[in-house]
Amino acid sequence: MSSRPSRGAARLAAILDALPDALLLVNCNGTVVNANTIALETFESPGTALVGRGLLDLLPSFDSRRIPGSMRRPDNDSEGGRTKPTRMVARRTDGTEFPVELTSANLEDGRTPYESAFEAAYADHHNSYTGNELLMLVVRDLTGTLDTEAELGRQQRQTEMILRAAAEGVVGVDNDGRVVLVNPSAAQILGYRASDLGGKKLHPLVHHSRADGTPLPYDETPLSDTLHSGRKHRVRGQVLWAKDGRPVPVDVTTAPVRDGDQLVGAVLTFTDRRPYDSLAARHAQLLAVLQESLRGPLEQLRGELGVLASDPAGQLWPEANQILHHLAAGYSRMTTLVDNVISYQRLDAGADRLQRRTVSLDAVVAAGVEGAIELIGPGRAQFAVHAPAIEAEVDAERLSTALAHLIADVAGVDSTGNSRAGGVSGDSTIVVAAAQRGEVVRIEVRGPYAGGDPVHEPIVRGIVQRHGGVLQTHDVPGGGGSAYVLEVPLSADGGSVTARSSGDADGGQDSESAMTVMPTPSAPARGTPSAPEAPGMPHASAN
């Protein structure tokens, strides 16, 4: 044997051993006659041999008709016997199974004077069948690949489900602004089918004009800037155009998509503003009804009733005069309620802001109690007030309004002025206790009713939250019923207050708190029962 073939065989064997995939040679008997290093590592188990094994023991699903010398050739046998990559389950020499991808090719004649059977691939033995043909198989282990593919498939399905469930429109574009992704919400909002948008430039379809109909150049859009600079944008009050030509008001967000350091596209998300704009218009309409159509007539009627009730001529009998006083008080309460609702709506909409200043807490509490009497009506409740002289930086007018509505809520008087059923039996005194707890002002309000009126409570909670505070409900130990606990920071830069557990929210008061008793008026209005006296509480006559 010459030295040249030996060197060539050694070189070829080294190359085949360096391949990343397993390589098997099978003879016409279906027996493995040679294998590279990766094949030995992949198929062999300690104490067992790969060479000499039957091919079908290693690859049970392999088509035996492809083994050289088979009398039946596969129907799809290609020229040279090469096959496309096929996935199947392989078996190691110890019987364990693993997934593989298999490619095979026929070698014409396995006879060779060389030391390695692999060199037969380069020998020219013509097309005659000699019984020495070989089958070469390239086997790729897919154990990790299948796990990766399964994870990628799971993530893709999860992403698709998220996109389908999202109420916002999501559109992905490439660097040229062509649509490569669109979720169902985007297609529905714009009136397109997803297939109508795919592959087309987004700007000429949906973002070609401003709200007034004037053309919008592509270079002036946030999407264009994102694709060129990679900057994110969030723009309110944009207009996209539906398929039928209608403008759709939206809030738009654009974000770049990168592959490593390379900018490969952008994602545009948008929220349909039409439901919000409809609610805002409805809100403005109802606010106008309260402010213009309802408050004015109420104020006028209250004034006329007040003049009639205070007529010194005394033209009416005493009962009728008392009814007039009661009606005037009722219309005054309604006017106050409307004013408070309008004021809170302006604060909630951002038209007004809190006017914080340093005030004494006892003055705020006193104003809140007075406001509550106006909402409840005279002669309908009595109060025990504990308010120390604590200085706090708050909007005194709005915080006293919140306190007034909170007191009216626990007093069991709804927004119509009627009393609710279901009060706690026993003492009906409304207790208002204020104290300082570190950097927080804490006000507890407890009454015969649990509260929760749909008009009173939102006003209270909204004003307290604007102050950075919290409003919580706690059960009263041993007495039944519940108490509201209102907490706001002492100063504007004191941050926000976090909700405490019910165990921390005890009803203790400052030992130095001053006590003020707000008595029941001596002459309650007609139709409003006088509140029972609280045990041990002194009472004074109202002027």
**Residue 520 in contact with residue 379, Cβ under 8 Å?**
yes
324 and 423 part of one domain: no
User: How many residues in total does the chain contain?
Assistant: 543
| Per-residue tokens: 538 | 């002194």
Provide the CATH number for the domain around residue 400: 3.30.565.10
Of 142-151, 195-204, 285-294, minimum mean pLDDT range: 285-294
pLDDT at 210 over 60: yes
Q: Convert the pLDDT of each residue in 48-96 to its tens digit.
A: 889 999 999 999 999 888 888 776 666 655 555 678 899 999 999 999 9
386 and 509 part of one domain: yes
H or E element, residue 411: none
Please list, in sequence order, all residues whose beta carbon lies within 8 angstroms of the beta carbon of residue 380, skipping any fewer than 6 positions away: 411, 413, 419, 524, 528, 529, 531
Please list, in sequence order, all residues whose beta carbon lies within 8 angstroms of the beta carbon of residue 485, skipping any fewer than 6 positions away: 442, 443, 444, 471, 472, 473, 474, 500, 505
| Residue 68, domain member (yes or no) | yes
Q: Give the pLDDT score at 521.
A: 37
Q: What is the torsional sign of CA 37, 42, 47, 51?
A: negative
| Residue 535, domain member (yes or no) | no
- Please list the helix, strand and coil fractions of the chain in percent, rounded to the nearest 5, in that order: 35, 25, 40
Q: What is the torsional sign of CA 365, 368, 372, 373?
A: positive
- For the beta sheet containing 22-26, the strands, ordered from the edge strand earlier in sequence to the opposite edge, are 32-35, 22-26, 134-141, 97-107, 86-91
Q: Give the pLDDT score at 525.
A: 36
What's the mean per-residue pLDDT of the chain?
79
Q: Give the pLDDT score at 536.
A: 37
One DSSP character per residue, 145-212 reads HHHHHHHHHHHHHHHHHHHHH-SSEEEEEETTSBEEEE-HHHHHHHT--HHHHTTSBHHHHHSSB-TT
pLDDT at 495 over 80: no
Q: Which amino acid is at 154?
A: R
Cα separation, 404 vs 339, in Å, equals 13
Burial code (b: 16+ CB inside 10 Å, e: under 16) for 439-478 equals ebbbbbbbbbbbbebeebbebbbbbbebbbbbbbebeeee
Q: Convert the pLDDT of each residue in 504-521 to its tens digit.
A: 544 444 433 344 444 433
pTM over 0.75: no
Of 20-34, 264-278, 295-309, minimum mean pLDDT range: 295-309
Q: Convert the pLDDT of each residue in 283-303 to its tens digit.
A: 776 776 676 667 666 777 777
* Helix, coil or strand: residue 445: strand
**Residue 348 in contact with residue 458, Cβ under 8 Å?**
no
Query: Is residue 55 exposed (0-12), middle (13-18) or buried (19+ Cβ within 10 Å)?
Result: buried
14 and 87 part of one domain: yes
203 and 307 part of one domain: no
Of 109-118, 140-149, 161-170, 405-414, minimum mean pLDDT range: 109-118
| Residue 178, domain member (yes or no) | yes
| Residue 138, domain member (yes or no) | yes
200 and 330 part of one domain: no
240 and 314 part of one domain: no
- Indicate the DSSP class of residue 461: H
Of 335-344, 387-396, 419-428, minimum mean pLDDT range: 419-428
HSE-CB for 363 with a 13 A CA cutoff: 12
pLDDT at 122 over 60: no
Cα separation, 304 vs 297, in Å, equals 10
**Residue 363 in contact with residue 396, Cβ under 8 Å?**
yes
374 and 425 part of one domain: yes
| Residue 99, domain member (yes or no) | yes
Domain boundary among 272, 293, 317: 272
Query: pLDDT higher for 542 or 97?
Result: 97
Q: Give the pLDDT score at 253.
A: 95
| Residue 302, domain member (yes or no) | yes
pLDDT-derived band at 272, boundaries 50, 70, 90 = very high
Q: Which amino acid is at 200?
A: K
**Which range marks the domain in which residue 291 is found?**
281-334
| Residue 534, domain member (yes or no) | no
Q: Give the pLDDT score at 334.
A: 79
430 and 497 part of one domain: yes
442 and 384 part of one domain: yes
Cα separation, 482 vs 490, in Å, equals 25
| Residue 417, domain member (yes or no) | yes
514 and 386 part of one domain: yes
267 and 292 part of one domain: no
Provide the CATH number for the domain around residue 268: 3.30.450.20
Q: How far is CA 342 from CA 185, 202, 329, 351, 404, in A?
A: 36, 44, 20, 11, 15
251 and 293 part of one domain: no
Domain count, the chain: 4
**What number is the average pLDDT over the span 346-363?**
89
Q: Give the pLDDT score at 113.
A: 46
Q: Convert the pLDDT of each residue in 48-59 to its tens digit.
A: 889 999 999 999
Q: Convert the pLDDT of each residue in 233-266 to its tens digit.
A: 999 989 999 999 999 999 999 999 999 889 999 9
Q: Give the pLDDT score at 35.
A: 92
Q: Give the pLDDT score at 337.
A: 81
